[in-house]
Amino acid sequence: MVELGRRTALGALGLGGAGLLLPTRSAAALRGGGPARPIHADFADKRGMLLHRQRAPLLETPFEVFDKSVFTPNDRFFVRWHYADIPLDVDAATFRLTIGGAVRQPRALSLPELLRLPRVDVNAVNQCSGNSRALFSPRVPGAQWGNGAMGNARWTGVRLKDVLALAGVAAGARRVRFAGLDRPPEGADWFAKSLAIDHALDGEVMIAFAMNGAALPVLNGFPLRLVVPGWYSTYWIKALDQIEVLAGDDANFWMAKAYRIPTAPGASVVPGAKDFETTPINRMVPRSFFTSHAGDIAARAGAPINLRGIAMGGASGVARVDLSWDGQNWQPATLGRDHGQYSLRAWSAQLTPPAGTHVLRLRCTSTSGQTQSATPVWNPSGYMLNTIETRRVTVA
Ligand SMILES: Nc1nc2c(c(=O)[nH]1)N[C@H]1C(S)=C(S)[C@@H](COP(=O)(O)O)O[C@H]1N2
Ligand SMILES: [Mo]
């Protein structure tokens, strides 16, 4: 059982006056009387999650949540930690974010100091590299996520660029590495990820202190997390408390050995392939999903089928979402409101197919012209699945 400690001195965050509310329900209040597993309610700040692992927590968002809104509520937002030793009780008053390495002036910033910087917002999808891994065929090891290892939120914070400017990046800096308050077991590398210096300074990468207008839930990285719009969430370091500017390469296990994808197009290789060139996982790719129908669709002849869903462009916006009965001819769905290029976007369509059994295909094309894979994606780590979605439609 994960026991969540009380967050102390929350006033130091200055969130009260900003209208940012903190969850008030205790872990105890959420326990007992709820539905049986796998819908899990034992984690404070979370309800109705699919439990993949208790320690370190892996909680998936049930897919029906995505039918209600393109923004994922904080209490339904997925959770993924690598190591069991995670920060459950952070003292906001004594918390410091350190910036060191190849900088002119190493810093240790308190939360109030950080919050003095200009604030920025971005609507962005946070998606695990291994989202949908359970759909890989042949099967690959790792958390057997369905499609719910992702979420979309409005992130509020400060620009990484502004934070780095407080320390002054030294000439010759190559990368910026990030780590949080979680701790590895004896002998293992810290969970740390790094970005190329130009990316870190692009003005888009941010350090968020709020999610959908509230403080970050403990399990999603209270009090601070990195937000890397358009990139897989392995880079979105939670409970971020260390920034290190590197003058050279990053030899840490989590960059040099893990979270690497084939350099082949679509990150796809022949199942079973081993000796292929790899590169660190990076930008997300377009995806789209049905939310109106979880499985096969049954309809009456002549009656329209109302379809709904969500789409993401990946590293750029959603240009279009299309449906097809044959994989050749595509017809556009109607797009919902544009909440920004990194956000989920709703789509809808009304179709009246003739009697018979059909396969309906769905795909998103991004504003940079990328589209979903028509053939099954496969790599041994189970990353970046973005194969075209299908539904069997029977009209009688
Ligand atoms: N400190 C820390 N940050 C982390 C991780 C972690 O293990 N430790 N996991 C990363 C991975 S792989 C994912 S998928 C996301 C999950 O973010 P979430 O739990 O807020 O949904 O956190 C990322 N940030
Ligand atoms: Mo992940």
Residues with CB under 5 A from ligand 2 (ion): 80, 128-129, 234
> What per-residue confidence (pLDDT) applies to 16?
38
Question: What pLDDT, on the 0 to 100 scale, is given for residue 225?
Answer: 98
134-144 mean pLDDT: 96
Where is pLDDT greater, at 260 or 19? 260
What average pLDDT does the structure give for the chain? Answer: 91
Beta bridge partners of 394: 298, 357
Which whole number is the average pLDDT over 47-64?
Answer: 95
Cα of 331 from ligand 1 centre, angstroms: 37
Candidate from 238, 241, 242 with most ligand 1 atoms within 8 A of CB, to mutate: 238
Residue nearest to atom 24 of ligand 1 (CA): 237
Beta carbon of 128 within 6 Å of any ligand 1 atom: yes
Ligand 1: centre distance to CA 364 (Å)? 26
pLDDT in tens, 235-254: 999 999 999 999 999 999 99
Q: Write the pLDDT tens digit of every residue in 56-80.
A: 999 999 999 999 999 999 999 999 9
The reply to whether ligand 1 has any atom less than 6 angstroms from the CB of 268 is no
For a pocket test of ligand 1, which of 236, 253, 281 has the largest count of ligand atoms closer than 8 A to its C-beta? 236
Give the position, in ligand 1's atom list, of the atom nearest the Cα of 180: 1
Q: How far apart are the first and last CA of the chain?
A: 50
Give the distance (Å) from ligand 2 centre to CA of residue 107.
29
Would you say the CB of residue 80 lies under 6 angstroms from ligand 1? yes
Strands 389-395 and 297-299: parallel
d(CA 240, CA 192): 10
* pLDDT of res. 14: 42
pLDDT at position 369 is 98
The CA distance from 150 to 56, in Å, is 18
Mean pLDDT for 43-63 is 93
Residue position matching structure tokens 């918390």: 95
Q: Which two tokens stand for residue 7?
A: 């967050």
Residue 330: its pLDDT value, please? 98
> Residue whose CA is closest, atom 8 of ligand 1?
81
Task: Quote the pLDDT of residue 274.
Answer: 86
Residue 40, pLDDT score: 58
What percent of the chain shows pLDDT beyond 70?
89
The pLDDT score that the predictor gives to residue 41 is 58
Q: What average pLDDT does range 310-329 have in this prediction? A: 98
Would you place residue 10 in the very low, low, confident or very high pLDDT band (cuts 50, 70, 90)? very low
Class of residue 184 by CB neighbours under 10 A (exposed 0-12, middle 13-18, buried 19+): middle
- Structure tokens of 338? 């544009």
Cis-peptide into 38, omega within 30 deg: yes
H or E, element range at 123:
strand 119-127
Mean pLDDT computed over 340-361:
97
Question: If you take atom 16 of ligand 1, which residue's CA is the nearest one?
Answer: 80
Q: What is the pLDDT of residue 173?
A: 98
Region 343-368: mean pLDDT is 97
45 lines ligand 1 (CB under 6 A): no
Q: What spacing in Å lies between the alpha carbon of 262 and ligand 2's midpoint?
A: 17
Sign of CA dihedral 8, 73, 365, 336: negative
On whether the CB atoms of residues 305 and 352 are closer than 8 A, the answer is: yes
pTM of the complete model: 0.91
Query: Could you write out the DSSP letters of every residue in 292-334?
Result: S-SS-EEE-TTPPEEEEEEEE-SSS-EEEEEEESSSSS-EEPE
Ordered alpha helix ranges (H), the chain: 27-30, 111-114, 160-167, 197-200, 253-256
Given a cut of 80, whether residue 39 has pLDDT beyond it is no
Taking the C-alpha atoms of residue 226 and residue 246, their distance in angstroms, rounded to an integer, is 17
- Enumerate residues 6+ apart whose C-beta is below 8 A from 39: 48, 49, 50, 51, 62
Q: How many CB atoms lie within 10 A of CB 333?
A: 24
Beta-carbon contacts of 150 under 8 Å, excluding residues fewer than 6 positions away, are 61, 78, 125, 126, 127, 128, 131
Closest ligand 1 atom, residue 232 Cα: 14
Contacts of 385 (CB under 8 A, 6+ apart): 131, 132, 133, 135, 136, 377
- pLDDT for res 44: 77
Residue 255 pLDDT > 50? yes
- The pLDDT of residue 45 is 87
**pLDDT tens digits, 165-201:** 999 999 999 999 999 999 999 999 999 999 999 999 9
* Rounded Cα gap, residues 79 and 259, in angstroms: 18
CB-neighbour burial class of residue 137 (10 A; exposed 0-12, middle 13-18, buried 19+): exposed
264: alpha, beta or left? (left if phi > 0; alpha if psi -120 to 50): beta
